[in-house]
Amino acid sequence: MKYVCKTSVVLCVLGLLIITIHFKYNYIYDGRLGQSMLTQRSNIDNDNEVRACRYVFLDLGSNKGVQIRKLFEPNLYPNASIIPVFDRVFGNISERQRYACAFGFEANPRHMKRLKFIEESYKNKDFRVDFYHLAVSDRDNDTVTIFSETNFDLDWGAGIIDQAINNKANMTKYKVHTVDIVRFIVEIINPLKSKAVFMKMDIEGSEYLVLPHMIKNNILCKDIITSAGIELHEWARKPLKTSLDLSKFKQNLKLQSCVPTSVFPLDDESYNLDVAINPDS
């Protein structure tokens, strides 16, 4: 009888252990733990795919994914101001389609269905694209509140600050997990040994937290991030109690022990509703 009881206890413990491991694995795989998510992603990528990332586009604040579409299908977006940047940093379109890897981050969950559709469609065309539903931050494994304008399709003001949303009655709040973008770059981007890395940053005020963090860790260096187009949102300076502006930021770049990243203002909002031609066509 004692033997049967002990066996039952052991089986119960083993069962609970299996359930815990299964839950933890799924929790990690879904990207809810920053460090483990990055490790999981790096294990998924095989050597051939890693070697193929000759160019990297890091899209911080993907919104509807239009900028990544401009990278791979520029013919659909004539006169978009970001396309000459792609041409200058990465080369011609055939080079990009064969050798570019795009990593997009978007905190607003309302855009993820569309972003995952683009990701799947492009992977079917052998374009390397990954979108992450994570808030770009200076820390991992945290949870932030994202404020989104419920009745506004583009959610221009979606971010960690509600000042950009005029009609507070139509504001929706979401809890979103954060990713330390410095660690992502160190663990995922750097090992690719890419010829050029271009970063676009449009993260609705969070840049005032992220940019100093990147400078402190010597990430905005030309041998890590070749060039970067950044939008600084002036309205976010007061609530975040920062005096950082473009001039000060460029001065701070020189404090790093490296040749600094080539940084310029960028705010390409063209084709914000995307085009009628879908990425799977």
pTM as predicted: 0.81
- Residue 274 placed within a domain: no
Q: Has residue 152 been placed in a domain? A: yes
Is the residue at 162 inside a domain?
yes
* pLDDT number for residue 235: 83
Range of the domain at 186: 53-265
Q: Look at residue 270 and tell me if it is in a domain.
A: no
> Is residue 279 in some structural domain?
no
**What pLDDT score does 34 carry?**
41
User: The CATH number of the domain where 72 resides is what?
Assistant: 3.40.50
Q: Is residue 157 included in any domain, yes or no? A: yes
Question: Which pLDDT does position 146 carry in this prediction?
Answer: 82
Please state the three-class secondary structure of the chain as a single string: CHHHHHHHHHHHHHHHHHHHHHHHHHHHHCCCCHHHHHHHHHHHCCHHHHHCCCEEEEEECCCCCHHHHHHHCHHHCCCCCCHHHHHHHHCCHHHHHHHEEEEEECCCHHHHHHHHHHHHHHHHCCCEEEEECCEEECCCCCEEEEEEECCCCCCCCCECCCCCCCCHHHEEEEEEEEEEHHHHHHHHHHHHCCCEEEEEECCCCCHHHHHHHHHHCCCCECCCCCEEEECCCHHHCCCCCCCCCHHHHHHHHCCCCCCECEEEECCCCCCCCCCCCCCCC
Residue 180 lies in a domain: yes
- Considering its fold, how many domains does the chain have in total? 1
Q: Chunked in runs of 10, what are the mean pLDDT values of the chain (281 residues)?
A: 49 48 36 40 47 90 96 97 96 94 95 96 97 96 84 64 71 91 97 97 92 97 97 88 91 95 93 94 92
Does any domain span residue 22?
Answer: no
